[in-house]
A and B are shown apart, each in its own frame.
Chain A
Amino acid sequence: MGNGTSIGRVRGLGPAHEGAHHWLLQRFTAVGNLLLVLWFVVSLLLLPDLGYGAVRSWLSQPVPAIAMVLLIISTFWHARLGLQVLAEDYVHTPGNKFAVLLLLNLAAIGGGAFGVFCIVRLALGAA
C-alpha cells in the first residue's frame, strides 16, 4: 500500500479499512476449530451415551477439559471475526456498524468467559 497516488492510498483496503491481521487470525482460529471440533465430534461418538453421568465424568478429566476450554476460545474468536465480516458487509451506517461491533465484542467475550468458567468449575470439582 503506497501513499503517492490516489489509487495507491486505497489499494488493499476493503470496507473495514484494514484486513491482513483479521484475515490471518480467521485462518489460525479456523485450523484450531478444525482440530478441536473434530475432537469434540469424535468424543461424542465414543461416549457410551450422552446422559448426565457419562458426559460429566468425561468432561471433568484434565485433557477433555483443556481441549474444551481451547475449543471455546477458538470457536468464539472465530465467530467474532466471522460475524464482524457479516456486519461490515451489511451494516453500512457508521454509527450502527460501531454499535453492532461493540455488541458483538461484548457477546463473544462474555459468552466465551461463561463457557470457560463452566468447564473450570466442572473440572476442579467446585460444583
Chain B
Amino acid sequence: MAERPLSPHLQIWKWGPHMLVSILHRITGDGLALAGLGILLWWLGALVSGPEAYASFSGWVWADLGTLSWGGAAIIVSLIKIVLKLVIIGLSWSFFTHMCSGLRHFVLDIGAGYELDLNRVWSIASPIIAILLTAGFWALLIYR
C-alpha cells in the first residue's frame, strides 16, 4: 500500500442507507456475474444436451425437497441441492436488487437525486422494491 495519508475508510463513517444500497449493488452484481452466469450456462448446456441432461440439471438446482435422502453419504448431495435452491432464490433477489439500484444509478448519473432527503428515500426504497418484485415473481411463477 502507498506510504501516504489515505482518506478515511469504512470504520470512520456512520452507516447509512446509501452505503447499504451501494454495497448491495456490488454484492448482487458480482453474485449474478459469478454464480448467475454459471448457472445460466449450465441450464443452456443441459437444454441443448437433451432430456436426461435437462432432468439432471433440474434435479440439482430445483430438487423436490420431499425426495431428498438423509442417510449416509447422500446427506452431502441433499445439502448441496438445498444450497442450490437457496442460490436460485438468491439470484432472483440479486437480479431485482441490482436492477433497482442500477436504475437508481442511472438517475444519479444524470446528476439528479443527490439532495440528502431524496437520496435517503431512494436508498431505502430501492432494496425494498426489489424484495417486493422478487416476492411477486415467485408468486406468479408458483401460482400461475
Contacts and interface: CB of A to CB of B under 8 A. Distances in A.
A45 B140 contact: yes
Contacts, number: 70
A27 B95 CA distance: 16
Given A27-B109, A83-B33, A118 B140 contact: no
Contact of B33 (A55, A82, A119): A82
Interface residues of B, number: 32
A34 B47 contact: no
Interface string A61-88: 0000000000010011011001100100
Given A37-B95, A111-B41, A115-B41, A122 B140 contact: no
B43 to A, nearest CB: 9
Interface residue SS majority, chain A: helix
A92 interface: yes
10 contacts: A27-B109, A34-B103, A45-B137, A52-B55, A55-B47, A79-B29, A79-B32, A111-B38, A118-B44, A127-B48
Interface of B: 1, 26, 29-30, 32-34, 37-38, 40-41, 44-45, 47-51, 54-55, 58, 95, 99, 102-103, 105-106, 109, 137, 140-141, 144
Interface of A: 27, 30, 34, 37-38, 41, 44-45, 50-52, 55-56, 59, 72, 75-76, 78-79, 82-83, 86, 92, 111, 114-115, 118-119, 121-122, 127
